[in-house]
Chain A
Amino acid sequence: KNEVEQSPQNLTAQEGEFITINCSYSVGISALHWLQQHPGGGIVSLFMLSSGKKKHGRLIATINIQEKHSSLHITASHPRDSAVYICAVRASGSRLTFGEGTQLTVNP
């Protein structure tokens, strides 16, 4: 079993829909990251969380440390949100363990 599990693996939505991507992990962590990988391959860091909730524009990330679970929400989704969303956890030091990613496609 992977240390970091994401669901769903693939998600297709219509423009305007509210989207949730989930991440569960099995180890104690000091931080959790959400990353976005664009169709061209580039990776951008969206959030780093160690507790609670963070919001940036239409993106919201939450984490429940006790349940070892995080969610990434996208409100009012748009085709430009189409990308792979990656959850990564830091158990110790700076090393990250990555989930396999969730491929999101938002259709107009």
Chain B
Amino acid sequence: DADVTQTPRNRITKTGKRIMLECSQTKGHDRMYWYRQDPGLGLQLIYYSFDVKDINKGEISDGYSVSRQAQAKFSLSLESAIPNQTALYFCATSDSSGGPDTQYFGPGTRLTVL
């Protein structure tokens, strides 16, 4: 079973709809991240969380919100989706316990906003 899972894997929605993307991990990591990837651009950080009570904005947080429901779960919400939020979204996790702090990525969610 994958260590970092994302649901849904694909979603098509309409402008103005509320969308939630979910991420779960079984790695026991304390740190979780949400990124978006647009064609021809590098990954951009939306939000990150260093533990359940710690939420931080990334480079492009406008139009997004997050919830860290538990150490293993980190959800990304688009309150009112717009077409320029069409992108590939990745969740990632890392461990702060003194190791190499490598980030482990989920499989991605392809979101299309019409």
Chain A residue with minimal CB distance to B9? A41
Assess whether A42 is in contact with B42, with CB atoms less than 8 Å apart. no
Question: Interface size bucket, B side?
Answer: 20 to 34
> CB within 8 A of B48: which of A2, A35, A45, A94?
A94
Q: What residues of A have a CB within 8 angstroms of the CB of B103 in the complex?
A: 33, 45, 94, 96
Assess whether B102 is in contact with A100, with CB atoms less than 8 Å apart. no
Question: Interface size bucket, A side?
Answer: 20 to 34
Q: B-side interface residues toward A, CB under 8 Å? A: 31, 33, 40-45, 48, 50, 58, 88, 90, 94, 96, 100-105, 107-108, 110
10 sample A-B contacts, Cβ–Cβ < 8 Å, listed by A number: A31-B100, A42-B107, A43-B90, A44-B105, A45-B103, A45-B105, A88-B43, A94-B96, A96-B45, A100-B42
